[in-house]
Structure 1
Amino acid sequence: MTDIRRVDLSIPSAARMYDWLLDGHHNYEADQRACELLLESAPSTKALARNNRWFLERVVRVMAEEHGIRHFIDFGSGLPTQNNVHQIAQAVAPASRVVYIDNDPVVLAHGRSILDENDRTAIISADMGNTPYIFGHPDFTSLIDLRQPVGVLFNSVLHCIADEDRPKDIVGRVVERLEPGSLIVICQLVSDDPQLRHDVTELMRVQTHGTWGRVRERWEVDDFFDGLVIQRPGLVDVTDWRPNSELQQRQRSIEWTEYGGLAEVPPRRQHRSATARNA
């Protein structure tokens, strides 16, 4: 197990900042200070984090209940909190299997301490761009059957990938390994305000010592879905993605949003361009 004492806890991480925004307990003083600076630029960021977590719960349930997905891969999974992917999926179908991918040592330590009790889950220490290592890892191959449709989540994580690391290519390499009928969740932070995009991007790069990417525009996230069949209700602020209640819709972030949705891997013979399924 990772020794947290050897981790430089003076450097904030996006995963632990997200945990703090969700009122979690697996974060440290540096993460809290970084969040306070972030809230100065984007005061509604706590609402954004809550909305994203609610979206995760809804979309995993839809994949399990409506599409029969039983194998899930969660890239950049973050710290365990309530209603994790395996808990949501296994509440629908107890045989569901989940592999979490993350490179934050604190995430790995806490995750393994929780997941050790569940033999249908695993957490792998890896950069999400290291596709061959992840898909060849014994914990992955023992749990995930790629001959079946799989649910893949890039939930609130691609903004952590710098442009030079080509986040679209990371998604593409994963999609190439999946059977038709597999489902992909992609959402990331976007803003229409160029100044906010610049300011928050620079703040996060400085605070995390460069382990961050960029706040993007909606059209850039649209491009991540190239070749996939977008499911209803399309690509939206995730607050509006099949909400359970008006209460969830009312608790909006203002300065920026999590934008994205759910898409299906089409048959290989199908023309590979993004198309929207009619609602």
Structure 2
Amino acid sequence: MTEIDTSKPHPARMYDWYLGGKDNYPVDEELGRQMLALEPRVPVMAKVNRAFMHRATRWLAGQGVRQFLDIGTGIPTEPNLHQVAQSIAPDARVVYCDNDPIVLAHAAALLRSAPGGITEYVQADVRDPATILEGAGKVLDFGQPVALSLVALLHFITDEDGAHDLVARLLAELPSGSYLMMTHATSDFTPEESAAATARLKAGGVTLALRTREEFTRFFDGLQLVEPGVEVVHKWHPELGEPVPGQDDGVIPGYGAVARKP
């Protein structure tokens, strides 16, 4: 197993700390606390993204989708995507993918599939779509629709790193009737705080590529957006889940959307 680097913070472990988890290290908590000083709602934002994943997964499973590819999985926090999907469709197949070895260390929690379904884990970076697709292809049938989940991930990938090309490459392997579900942080509502947060993360070795609503919407070019289209994360089909405490205290600075590949 790849050695876990505890000398610098990692977004997956910071996310775990925001959610109240214990699978993080002092370096993650230190930068996490610095972020809280700039934006006290960061833990709420993390929970709102998680809740979006639950709602979008329920919606997709309700549409008959039985295959899910979740990239940027993060440290397991129940209910995980496969538990949500398989509660509706026990035969659902789910492949998780993350680049943090600590997620691999907890992969057993991600692999507790319902008896009729399958879950698998691929250790890879989103910047290496070939490895992801090769691993996922051992479990998923790319001749049938797949839901590609990129929740709270692409705001760590810059345009210089080819963020849009990466999404296009992944979608190119998926057939008609597949879906893309995404959330993304934005500076649209809090430009000064966002600039300060981006600088603080950069100093800590974490890249943050915040995008505007228009820039986020570009990821869905050529796809059919599901109503209500691009929306502030917690306002996307709230009826499909439970409200997150604190989410109504002003606008949560992030967008979410689901779209179908025609």
TM-score by length of 2: 0.92
What CA distance in whole angstroms lies between the structure 2 residues aligned with 1:203 and 1:215? Answer: 14
What CA distance in whole angstroms lies between the structure 1 residues aligned with 2:243 and 2:95? Answer: 31
Alignment match, 2:19: 22
Q: Which amino acid aligns with 1:217?
A: T
Alignment match, 2:203: 206
Overall identity of the aligned pairs, in %: 37
| Cα drift, residue 248 of structure 1 | 3.9
Alignment match, 1:269: none
Alignment match, 1:56: 53
CA displacement, residues 79-115 of structure 1 (integer Å, 9 cap, x when unaligned): 101111111111111111111111011111112x324
Alignment gaps of 5+ in structure 2: none
What CA distance in whole angstroms lies between the structure 2 residues aligned with 1:103 and 1:247? Answer: 30
Aligned counterparts, 1:181-196, within 5 A: 181-192=177-188, 193-196=190-193
| Cα drift, residue 202 of structure 1 | 1.8
Q: Which moved more, 1:243-252 or 1:19-28?
A: 243-252
What CA distance in whole angstroms lies between the structure 1 residues aligned with 2:214 and 2:192? Answer: 17
Aligned counterparts, 1:65-214, within 5 A: 65=62, 67-111=63-107, 113-118=108-113, 120-137=118-135, 140-192=136-188, 193-207=190-204, 209-210=205-206, 212-214=207-209
TM-score by length of 1: 0.86
Aligned pair partner of 2:219 in 224, 238, 241? 224
What CA distance in whole angstroms lies between the structure 2 residues aligned with 1:89 and 1:160? Answer: 26
Alignment gaps of 5+ in structure 1: 267-279
Cα pair distance change 1:116/1:151, threshold 3 Å: closer
What CA distance in whole angstroms lies between the structure 2 residues aligned with 1:102 and 1:145? Answer: 20
Cα pair distance change 1:54/1:243, threshold 3 Å: same
What CA distance in whole angstroms lies between the structure 2 residues aligned with 1:64 and 1:10? Answer: 40
What CA distance in whole angstroms lies between the structure 2 residues aligned with 1:54 and 1:108? Answer: 23
Q: Which moved more, 1:37-46 or 1:197-206?
A: 197-206
What CA distance in whole angstroms lies between the structure 1 residues aligned with 2:242 and 2:132? Answer: 39
What CA distance in whole angstroms lies between the structure 2 residues aligned with 1:247 and 1:78? Answer: 22
SS of structure 2 residue aligned to 1:73: strand
Q: Which amino acid aligns with 2:60?
A: M
What CA distance in whole angstroms lies between the structure 1 residues aligned with 2:119 and 2:180? Answer: 19
What CA distance in whole angstroms lies between the structure 1 residues aligned with 2:195 and 2:21? Answer: 28
Contact 1:183–1:263 (8 Å) recurs in 2 = yes
Alignment match, 1:274: none
Q: Which amino acid aligns with 1:224?
A: F
What CA distance in whole angstroms lies between the structure 2 residues aligned with 1:61 and 1:240? Answer: 15
What CA distance in whole angstroms lies between the structure 1 residues aligned with 2:97 and 2:160? Answer: 21
What is the number of equivalent residue pairs in this alignment? 257
What CA distance in whole angstroms lies between the structure 2 residues aligned with 1:49 and 1:116? Answer: 23
Q: Name the Cα RMSD after superposition.
A: 1.9
| Cα drift, residue 250 of structure 1 | 5.8
SS of structure 1 residue aligned to 2:238: coil
